[in-house]
Each structure stands twice: as structure tokens, then as C-alpha cells.
Structure 1
Amino acid sequence: MNELHLETSPYLLQHANNPVHWKAWNSTSLAAAKEKNQLIIISIGYSACHWCHVMEHESFENEAVAAVMNAHFVNIKVDREERPDIDAVYMKAVQIMTGHGGWPLNVVALPDGRPVWGGTYFRKEEWTDTLEQLQKMYQLAPEKMVEYAEKLHQGIEAISIIQKEGQENSNQQLLVENLVAKWKKSFDWEFGGMARAPKFMMPNNYHFLLRYAHQNQDNELLEFVNLTLTKMAYGGVFDTVDGGFSRYSVDIKWHVPHFEKMLYDNGQLISLYSDAYKLTKNPLYKKIIEKSLNFVNKEWKTAEGSFYSALDADSLNEKGHLEEGAFYVWKINQLKELIKEDFELFAQVFNINSFGLWEEENYVLIQNQSLEMIAELNHLSLTELATKKKNWEQLLYTEREKRTKPRLDDKCLTSWNAIMLKGFVDAYKALGDQEYINSAIANANFIIKKLWSQEGNLFHSYKNDTSSINGYLEDYCFVIAAFIALYEVTLEEKWLHDAKQLTDYTLEHFYDVKQAFFRFTSDKDDALISVHYETEDNVIPASNSVMAKNLNQLGIYFNNSYYEKISQQMLAILLPNIDYPSAYSNWLDLSLTLSEQNRELAICGPDATEMNTVITGLYLPNVIVAGTKKSSQLPFLKDRFTSEKNLFYVCQNKTCQLPVEDFQEMITQLSWKS
């Protein structure tokens, strides 16, 4: 047993019995490397990562490999979900060295932490041969390694600096139009998404594209977004048996997932499908929202109102061995036995044919036709087929529950919980289910009670009734966004004041005036080899882009020009430097919010809450909403309430029209086309 048995991270605990003398990342481990003048192996992964498990089994459980690692290296294991700051810095290094990244992420560094070599997954022989060569080089010619480390470190520093040229007087609307036109060239018009594999869902991309298509009346783009959402909903990345999305698809048709399920994906996708449902009223989207939230509540929700992090890609197969996707796949004879006389129809719906076949005679359920089309072909009513499909899924669910479930990552991360909280809020806006808002409020109260300290800082992780790790910018930005979202549906100003308090904390401890962006780590944390400014939107939007949107919205509510100025400055610097629009979609969304199309709405009067429920149920992405049914001191609402009648104030860029009482007139005023 190594030092990892002292940790709480499920990923680190998975490695606690490896013969490798693993240590956790801490000051003692780092000091040991300097004291012994030994190279450091920094191995980064996460609990649901399939290839992390493969490398563990092949190398880290092997006595001979462990002997090489233990003889000459200080071996440090890192859970990237607990320490995204460490992961970000060493990921940059590996991307500079190899041109790509991923997990497991394996780096060899000098005793001071500066990297000299790295990559992702390695086979056993390649891993040990390389380590032996690196150790020999460090013994015989350490100055060469130090020289390389210095150059690599300069490269890491260079890509961490945000370029500021060209931001003055740029036409932001034209820039966004050109970027969207460029983006369209990479669309997959058969299956949706981008025309490449693997395919990640990238919910923020489609959140922006849906909004852009709607506000620019681009019907072709709207058709593409709906094609993408429909094909993702058809599976296999969506688990039609029990709800919830896997992390990504290994193929171009969204068929075979990398089977791990992550909280952050599901939270964002629920928000996306909720927005799409508000616009289209597509019943398929409603089903996706309901089934996914049912899955989240059943598998991840805790008695405290928090949410666990993930389910593993691997699970035990019939032979008792860990196998990717074992819990989810089906053999044809199993399906025939369960479905019986309906099997032929079932096979049409879920492609028990060459289209749905994966490998080893395993099928991953996937639709490629609508139920309407299949019902018509088989002379059935849509209701009849939909009922059959629901019954089949229940049969499969009951059978599947007899299998060994994938391993659960039972830590609760603040940022991911806040993303899920917002998913519940957005689902409530779309579907009006009171249970959804109850879950959101319970989660918000959990964050306040367990993850927000008396000193004002957030913690990043929670497990076994203990909060740990000082929060990162991602924790603050997503909690602030979630609290703003809660205000939008409850109109309780407490949530805005909490959001403002956290915002002021980030400005004090994360904001870099010189760079004009927020650091990923607090000024209270120990420095790493390089400062990280997260600006690229990935599977999760960049913490800086989320923070910029928060500042803009809170700036309007609190009439705080300093907030708004920082937000506008961040966008002005970044927008002219965007080359790949898919990596900056949240910034592009902010550009729409800062455009002439945006509106602010104040709902004031005794029926404000009820009217707000109607308004937030509409797809109005260009509207920032506030409201009150009593006198309010919130600057945006001050002196606007009257107890005699309901008034709507529509504003644009701090200029408000005369208040109106008529609902339809207010809706007309909100239009960017009026």
C-alpha cells in the first residue's frame, strides 16, 4: 500500500494498492524530489477514464514497471478533477511537445516541477524504456535536460499570455458573422455535429448556434442544430434505457460512446435541450430532459442535496473482468429472449442490424428514424409504438439492473454541482415541474452550507462530510451563474446578493488587472510553474467566459459600470483573436448579449412571480429578466414597483421605454426586430 490510501479521491484510491510508491501532490512530495534531486513522474487521470485503467493494469500494477519507477523517480498521482490547475499546466506542456493531449496524462519533470518529457497512454515496454533513458540522461547530462526544460517553460508561459493586439474599434458583429460562416464549413449534415470523429457533444456550441440562428432568422442553421440534437438523442451516446448522456462518441454517428457518464455533461445538455424545447416544443427533447433528470436523481443525488461526479466507463462483464461498456451493451439472443414476439419491430426501432452492431457481437441501441416514420411503415399509431418503446425500455432496465453497475465517483465538485443546479433551473423554465426547482434550491443550500467558508472562499471538493481544496475560478463562475439563474425563476434577491458577494471575492483574489483576465487559481494558493488563464471554451465553457457573462448581467442588476467594463474589455481583447469559433462559443454568446439585439426587462407588480414564470418559459435568449412583487432596493428595480398594477419596463443599453401594462405589447417591445 502506498501513500494514496490516505486520500479521499476515488481515482487516487484506485491506485492505492499499486506497487508503485505513489504520492499525492503536496508540498511534502515536491520537497522530497528537490531534497533527493530526483526526477518527478506526474501521472494525471480521473476515475471514469478507460485508458487510465488500461495503463494502470498494464504498467502501474506490474512489479517490474514499479521497480523502475520506484528506483529513480518521485511518483505523483493527480486526480485532474480535484486539481484542474495542475492538469491545465502540464496539458499545455504535452500539447507543445506532442501536438495533442488527453488522459492519462503522463509527464516527467525536473525536481523543481518543470516538465522535460510527456505524453498520454504508453504501452508497458515503451514506458519503462523511456523512463530508463531519461534517468540515464539526467545522470550523465543534466544540463541538457535543464536547457530543454527552460525552453519548454518559456513556451508554456508564451501560450498562457493573452494577445491584446487588434481589439480596438473592431466590428464585433461582422467578426461573429464571419466566424459563423467559417464554422458552417465543418458541419456534418448527415448526423449533426462536426464532421469528424470522435464526436463530443459540446453543449455550449449548440447553445450559441441555437441563439444565433434564432436571432438572425437563419433557418438553415436552426435546422442543423435540431438535426444535431435529434441525432444525439437517438443514441447510443444517450442511454435510452435509463437516461443520461455518455461523455462522447468514438464514431461519426453518435453511436458507440466512451461509456463514462459525467455530471457536467448532463447538466449542460439538460440546459441545452430545455432551451431547444422552449423554442421548438419538440416532444423528443422533453423526453430527453425528463429521462436525464430522473437518471441524475436516481444515481447521483445525495441525501444532502448534492450530486456525485461520474460513473465509470468500465464495469464487470459476465466473467468478472472490467470491460468498457459491459453494463450497457446487448447480445441479440438476450434481446430476443426479453422482447419476444415484438423483437422484429424492436429491431427496426433500435437497429439490431449492421447499423447498430458494435464489436464482439455486442449491440449499442441507436435510432436512426423517427417513431412517426416507423409507426407509419408498420401500420401502427404513434401512441401505440411509443407505448411499446416505453415498455421495452422498462424490460431492458429491469434486466440491466441485475448486472454489476459501473463504479461511482462519489466526490461532489462545486463547479459541477453548480452546472447541474442550473440544468434543473433551465428544465423548470421549460417544463414547469416544481420538483426541478426544489432540487435546484436544495443544491444551492448545500453549496452555501458545505462549500462556502466563513472567510468568503469556496471549496472545490466535498466527500465524507469534509470540504477540501481551495476553490478555483471554475467553482466561483459556475456558482455565480447558478445563483443568477435561481434569481431569474424565484425573483428572490438573496440569490443575486450571494452572487455579487462571490463576484467581489473573485475580483479581489483572482482578477489580474494587467492581463485583464482572471487567473484560474486564487492568489492564496501556492504557485505552480506557470499561471493559467482559462479562456478557451471546451466541453465545459472557459471560466473566464462564464465570469464575463456574470459580470455583465450583475452589472445591469446592480448598475455597476465597473463590472460591465471588465466584461466588455475581456470580450474586446479576445474576439479579434478567435480563429476556431467552436473553441470560443461562450464568448460569441456574450457578443450577442452585448449587441443592439439585447433587451432588459423589469416586471413589477403584485403578479410579478406568475408573469415571470410565463416569460421565462419562452425562448427569449436576448432578454435579461428581473422582477419584484414588492418595493425593491435593487438598482435595476428601484422606484419601479406599484401595488396597484403590473408594469413591464423594457430597456436597452440603460435606456428604458415607458412602462406598459399589456403583456403582448411588452413581448413586441422585447423583439430585436421591432
Structure 2
Amino acid sequence: MSEFTNELFYESSPYLKQHAHNPVDWKPWSEKTLAMARRSDKPLLISIGYSSCHWCHVMEHECFADMEVAELMNHYFVNIKVDREERPDVDRQYMEALQLMSGQGGWPLNIIALPDGRAFWGATYVNKTQWLQVLEQLGKLYKNDRPKVEAYAQKLAAGLKQLHLIPLPEKETHLPSASDVEALLTQWRASWDTYLGGFKRAPKFMMPVNLDFLLHLGTVKKNKTVLEYVHTTLERMALGGIYDHVGGGFSRYSVDIKWHIPHFEKMLYDNAQLVSLYAKAFAASKNPLYKKVVEETLDFLDSEFKGDTPLYYSALDADSMNKEGKQEEGAYYVWTKEELQTILKEYFSLFADYYNINAYGHWEAGNYVLILDTNTLEIAEKYGLNSEALESKIRSCLAKLKEIRDKRPKPFLDQKALTSWNAMMVIGLCDASRYLEMPQYQFQAQNTLAFIEDHLLDPEGQLLRTYMEGNAKIPAYLEDYAWLIQAYLALYEVCFDTRFLEKAKKMADQTIDRFLDTNTGLFYYNQVENDIIPGQFELEDNVIPSSNAVMAHGLKILHHHYPNAGYGEIYQKQLQTAQQRFSSQISGYPYWWKLVLLESHPYHEIVISGEQALTMASEFSSAYLPQIVLAASTMQNNFSLFENRFKPGETYIYHCTHGSCAKPEKDPKEVLEYIR
């Protein structure tokens, strides 16, 4: 039994539970804790992180598990631990405060604030010696010179308020022109690494939202330069060490420019988006590597990120136990040459050539991370093999390594399930189903959505954010609602069951009621609980597209199915307001720019009605056609897209573009040729 137990013991978040036995008297973020701070008139010490954050673990070990540190923290402060994945609104508020104070950000995020929540100091990782100095100095400063502290906190709060102001467009503006897009693309292109993919810097993040936009743009514009860059990046990522060749799935980022050494944590949101991206890229190019990546990543997620429910867990840690029994980054994934020789025996030489067990593939301390950067045809020729035989031997070697690796101590798994990330996963499964033409993934998607409906809606019908060990909690954020709407729409375009359209509409109507700011036309990220965390607008895309952009996409698609529901006006106003931010650059707003492409280039409504509708629809759904909305029905229904379009015994394809309709066709190839 641990000597210390604090209130985090009763929380469900794995990250919070990791701190439950610190000597620091941690408390969760709650109205109860905030009220206690106001009564005690102690400043707040708010420490924010997540379970797979390496430097969060380091600071916990050096500082929060230390008695000397704990005594100072408990004496001067009310100490609050926050899981940023559970409470992204709290994280966002204080990350913006830190960035205003220092121009920097990251995790762990440590903030010291007045009892009313206004921040006056912040930092990321701090070692024990510096942390002790900070605690003593700020504790005494608050006690001895409070007016100075309050004046700074007020100034910072005013800066944050100014940051959150969204200016309204003075008049209706036109969308950027083709020349505007080309000029911004030229600026952005200067930062591209056209040889190794990604950007010309390290670390390298995969940024699937950027690549998804560029695949869309390159296809619509038939821009070979853009498409070559996208495919170079996708191939280099899939061949690099950032991809787990033994077990499948991608790590969060690479610390070098060649996608070799990953920061070994694996996140659901990365892998869900990458499944979608590689499935689309496969449909566009028929590159078998992309299909392999999709299948292996989904196998990995099914085996490692799921338990007894159809929900997917959040993250796999970078650190695990090494041979000396100490936590070490990457210990689970790396190999020494001696290990590989012992396991692979006569196949070691072949495997070493294939995966660069040499200076190119070496990491540190005799450890290797598998990476391909060799012509496999040359390897096959060297060993007197054809391509099929070579790949068979490599698969056999990888299976042996996986068998050995499965016996190693595994990294910590955050078994918290998040609604938005699971909705992204549903979209990934739907894209894999349609573009790889593998219907089993559709059924997995349906099961995940059904579980969300059964377990993440409270008795009043409000969506909840997290699920862990049978417990759902925390009112959902805009990102949860917006991604769930997109998940329903993605599933509809795979199975064409109108129940999913109706569910998307119901969720959209709830989102409008709960989050829409009619003044700006934007959606608030959070449902405001108190003055500490005000209403926030999320506009900029990051590793995940912004929730407002995701919502706008969902509303655009719903507008085609429900043209009289007002969704068109709402997303158009979103686009007008957001355009003031995104019109000067693409890189921070690619999901908004996808919407610009949908609006400014021919956008095709494809409606198939008749007995053979589902068979014909598969010819459209399996092709990468980023500028279509697809609907199909084998019977008459009441949706406006099908009005007066059902003819017994016949199947017709109805094709309209921006309100102008061509004559009905019976041959899908005719319509496909026109669209392309």
C-alpha cells in the first residue's frame, strides 16, 4: 500500500491516476476544488499533461514524487492536476496564457494562478532545483506583494480576452481566387522537403490534415508537383521508422528529417486520420504499399487499442521497461544486432540489408530502428529471389520479431476512450471499407457508433466526452459533436442507410442549439461552466483539424440532404468569418481551404435511384472523388435528393453541379468520366 493517496485516486483518467500516490495533495479540476481555493485564498498550481507525455513523466519523478517539493507545493498552493485530453478547454485557456507570457508552449504545462483562476506565471518542464526556487519565490510574492501579482494577472487576462475576440467581416467577401490559392501555395511550397517528404526541419510531424488537403488540391487541379510531394511524403513515412514495421501503426512524430527515429508514443487521433489518408491515396494511386499500411494499422489498433468494447483507447506510451528494469523511451521497439542475429539466424543478412541494420539504421547505444531506404529489387537480385519470395521471407522475419517483442514489458496504455477520437476512427474505418472495398470495416464502424449511442449519451440526450471502465463523463465539446456528425455522414456514404443521415441531422441540431454564437456565426468550442474558462473559438488546424472547420464540412454535406434546414446559411457565415483568419495562409488552415475548394470548383451531387443503386454506387464510392456528395436508394424515400427520381424496374444516375443537372444516365462510367 502506498504511503500517500490523494483525491486523484478516485478519478477515472489513467493520467490522473498516475499521480494518485504522489505526496503532493493533488485535486482534480472541479467546481468543488475551485471553491475551496477561493475560500482558502491560496493561489492555484495547475499542472496539465497527458499519459503518453515523456517529459510529464520525468517531472513527476523528479518533482511531484519528491517530499521536499511536495511540502512547498502543499504549503503555498491548491494543487490541481488536469488531463488535457479530458479537459481540452482548460488546457487551451492556460496554454494561450503561457504563450502570451513566454512565446512558448508544450507539456507538461504548469501554471500558477490567482484563486479566481487568472494566471500569473507559467512554464513547461522544470527540474527539481529550479522548481523549488519557483515555488518559494512565487509563494512569498503572492503573500507579500499581492497587488503586484494581481495587476499582472489582470493584464494577462485582458490580453487573453483580446486574443479571443473575433472581428466580424465588414461586408460579404468573395472566396479566394485560383490565383490567390496558387500564390499562397508557392509560399508554402518553399518549406516542403521534396526528397524526404514533410517539411525541411526536424522534428517532423506527419500532419495528415495538410496531406489530405494537398491530395484533394492536386487531384482537383491535376497538379503533378503537389501530388508527387504528397506521395513522396506518404511513401517515406510508411518506409521510415516512424511506422512500426513489426506491429503496425504510426508514432506521433520523428525527431530527425528522414522519418527514422520516432518519439515512440502512438496516438489514436494520428492513426485514425492516417488510415483515412492512406485509404484515399490508395484509391487515387493504387499503390499497394498504401493498402498494406491501412490493413496493418487497423490490425494494430484492433489488437492493441481495444478491450471488451468496440471503443478504441487513446494512447500508447513512448516509455517501457528496459532489460535493466528501468523506464526507457523506445525500449519496447528497438533491436540490437545481436538480438536480430539470434532470432533470425540464417535470414539475418537478408533482413539487415532490407531494413538497414547498419550505420544508416542505427539509433544509439547499439540499438536499431527499422527503416527502408533501399531498392528492394536489388536486394532480391543479390539473394537470388523474386519479389514475391523476398517479401515472403521478410514477412516471416517480422512475425518472429513480433513473437519475441510481444513478450517484452509493454508501454503503458491509456485505456480512456474519447468520443471525438473514436468518431475519427469510425471515419477511418468507413474510408478503408469504401476505398479498399473491404466491407468488414463498415461493420466495425457501425459497432463503434452503436456503442457511443448506447453509452456516451446521458439520460437527457447530452453527448459525453470520455468513457473508462463503464463510466462516461464530462459534457462533450464541439469537436466531439462535429466529428460524430462527420462519422454518421461517412457511414451513410458506405451503406446508404438513411438512419445515419437522420442521426447526423439530430446531432447537428443539438450542436447548433448548444454551441452556435449567432453574432460571429462560429461555434463555441466549449459549453461555458464558469468565468474561469470562457467561451472559446477554435479556428486554426493543428494535428487535428479545427472543430469549427469540421463542423462547417458536416453542415455543407447536410445542406445537400436537407436543403431547407438552414445549414447552408450557417456554414456560409462560418466561412465568411473564418476567412479573415485563413485567407493569408494555407498551412495553418488546410481544412478550411478544403471547404474553399468544395465551394469554388465543380461540386457534384451524385444520386442513384433504383434496384441496382447500391451496386452502381460502389463504383463511385471506391474511387477517390473529393468533389462529390453521394446518395443512393433502392426504393422511393422522402429525402429531397430523391424526389420524383424513383422509377420501378429502372436504375438511374442523377448528376447535378451547383444546381444545374445533366440528363439521367444508366452507365456509371459515363458519369465517372465526366467528373474526372
Shift of 1:604: 0.8
Shift of 1:170: 3.3
Aligned partner of residue 600 in structure 1, secondary structure: strand
1:644 counterpart = 2:649: yes
Aligned partner of residue 151 in structure 2, secondary structure: helix
**Given the superposition, is the C-alpha separation of residues 643 and 454 from structure 1 closer, same or farther in structure 2, using an over 3 Å criterion?**
farther
2:209: which partner in 1? 204
Contact 1:167 1:573 in 2 (8 A): no
**Partner Cα distance (1:497, 1:180) in 2:** 38
1:181: which partner in 2? 186
1:19 counterpart = 2:23: yes
**Partner Cα distance (2:171, 2:317) in 1:** 44
Contact 2:240 2:370 in 1 (8 A): yes
2:661: which partner in 1? 656
2:445: which partner in 1? 440
Aligned partner of residue 583 in structure 1, secondary structure: coil
2:347: which partner in 1? 342
1:569: which partner in 2? 573
Q: Which of 36, 43, 47 pairs up with 2:51? A: 47
Cα-Cα RMSD: 1.4
Amino acid in structure 1 at the alignment position of 2:137 = Q
**Partner Cα distance (2:423, 2:415) in 1:** 16
Equivalent runs, 1:96-107 vs 2, <5 Å: 96-107=100-111
Contact 1:415 1:474 in 2 (8 A): yes
Normalised TM-score (structure 2)? 0.97
Amino acid in structure 1 at the alignment position of 2:292 = K
Q: Which of 499, 504, 512 pairs up with 2:509? A: 504
Contact 2:314 2:414 in 1 (8 A): yes
Once the two structures are superposed, residues 261-318 of structure 1 have per-residue CA deviations (whole angstroms, 9 ceiling, x without a partner) of: 1111111000000000001110110110010000111111233211111111111111
Shift of 1:527: 4.5
Equivalent runs, 1:393-408 vs 2, <5 Å: 393-408=398-413
Shift of 1:623: 0.8
2:332: which partner in 1? 327
Once the two structures are superposed, residues 481-537 of structure 1 have per-residue CA deviations (whole angstroms, 9 ceiling, x without a partner) of: 0000000011000001101001001111100111211101125x4453432111111
1:222: which partner in 2? 227
Q: How many residue pairs are counted as aligned between the two chains?
A: 670
Shift of 1:171: 4.3
**Given the superposition, is the C-alpha separation of residues 253 and 164 from structure 1 closer, same or farther in structure 2, using an over 3 Å criterion?**
farther
1:424 counterpart = 2:429: yes
Equivalent runs, 1:252-331 vs 2, <5 Å: 252-331=257-336
Contact 2:90 2:533 in 1 (8 A): no
Contact 1:483 1:495 in 2 (8 A): yes
**Partner Cα distance (2:550, 2:537) in 1:** 13
**Given the superposition, is the C-alpha separation of residues 210 and 376 from structure 1 closer, same or farther in structure 2, using an over 3 Å criterion?**
farther
1:613: which partner in 2? 618
2:62: which partner in 1? 58
Amino acid in structure 2 at the alignment position of 1:340 = K
Contact 2:347 2:397 in 1 (8 A): no
Once the two structures are superposed, residues 29-79 of structure 1 have per-residue CA deviations (whole angstroms, 9 ceiling, x without a partner) of: 111111111111110001111111011001001111111101110000000
Q: Which of 594, 600, 603 pairs up with 2:605? A: 600
**Given the superposition, is the C-alpha separation of residues 296 and 279 from structure 1 closer, same or farther in structure 2, using an over 3 Å criterion?**
same
Aligned partner of residue 519 in structure 2, secondary structure: coil
Once the two structures are superposed, residues 229-285 of structure 1 have per-residue CA deviations (whole angstroms, 9 ceiling, x without a partner) of: 001001211101010111111111111111111111111000000000001110110
**Partner Cα distance (1:534, 1:109) in 2:** 23
Aligned partner of residue 172 in structure 1, secondary structure: coil
Shift of 1:166: 7.0
Shift of 1:338: 1.3
**Partner Cα distance (2:456, 2:660) in 1:** 39
**Partner Cα distance (1:251, 1:51) in 2:** 19
1:68: which partner in 2? 72
Equivalent runs, 1:52-201 vs 2, <5 Å: 52-165=56-169, 168-174=172-178, 175-201=180-206
1:353: which partner in 2? 358
1:381 counterpart = 2:386: yes
Shift of 1:147: 1.0
Aligned partner of residue 104 in structure 2, secondary structure: coil
Contact 1:114 1:529 in 2 (8 A): no
- Residue range with higher mean Cα deviation, 379-388 or 211-220: 379-388
Contact 1:314 1:407 in 2 (8 A): yes
Aligned partner of residue 582 in structure 1, secondary structure: coil
**Given the superposition, is the C-alpha separation of residues 459 and 529 from structure 1 closer, same or farther in structure 2, using an over 3 Å criterion?**
closer
**Partner Cα distance (1:455, 1:220) in 2:** 51
Once the two structures are superposed, residues 127-167 of structure 1 have per-residue CA deviations (whole angstroms, 9 ceiling, x without a partner) of: 11112111111112111111111111111122222344577
Shift of 1:178: 2.3
Aligned partner of residue 581 in structure 1, secondary structure: coil
2:547: which partner in 1? 543
Once the two structures are superposed, residues 424-481 of structure 1 have per-residue CA deviations (whole angstroms, 9 ceiling, x without a partner) of: 1000011122221111010010111111234231100111212111111011001100
**Partner Cα distance (1:268, 1:309) in 2:** 14
Normalised TM-score (structure 1)? 0.97
Aligned partner of residue 105 in structure 2, secondary structure: coil
Q: Which of 611, 628, 631 pairs up with 1:626? A: 631
**Partner Cα distance (2:224, 2:374) in 1:** 22
2:499: which partner in 1? 494
2:674: which partner in 1? 669
- Residue range with higher mean Cα deviation, 71-80 or 426-435: 426-435
Aligned partner of residue 75 in structure 1, secondary structure: strand
**Partner Cα distance (1:342, 1:667) in 2:** 48
**Partner Cα distance (2:595, 2:369) in 1:** 38
Contact 1:2 1:21 in 2 (8 A): yes
Equivalent runs, 1:525-536 vs 2, <5 Å: 525-536=529-540
2:473: which partner in 1? 468
**Partner Cα distance (2:648, 2:628) in 1:** 24
Aligned partner of residue 642 in structure 2, secondary structure: coil
1:369: which partner in 2? 374
Shift of 1:376: 4.2
**Partner Cα distance (2:459, 2:664) in 1:** 42
Q: Which of 414, 418, 424 pairs up with 2:419? A: 414
**Given the superposition, is the C-alpha separation of residues 285 and 172 from structure 1 closer, same or farther in structure 2, using an over 3 Å criterion?**
same
Contact 2:191 2:199 in 1 (8 A): yes
**Partner Cα distance (1:371, 1:634) in 2:** 53
Contact 1:456 1:505 in 2 (8 A): no
Amino acid in structure 1 at the alignment position of 2:346 = E
Amino acid in structure 2 at the alignment position of 1:382 = S
**Partner Cα distance (2:481, 2:580) in 1:** 27
- Residue range with higher mean Cα deviation, 634-643 or 94-103: 634-643
**Partner Cα distance (2:533, 2:475) in 1:** 18
Q: Which of 240, 245, 256 pairs up with 1:235? A: 240
Aligned partner of residue 518 in structure 1, secondary structure: coil
Shift of 1:577: 2.6
Amino acid in structure 2 at the alignment position of 1:484 = L
2:560: which partner in 1? 556
Query: 4+ residue stretches of structure 1 with deviation over 4 A?
Result: 376-379
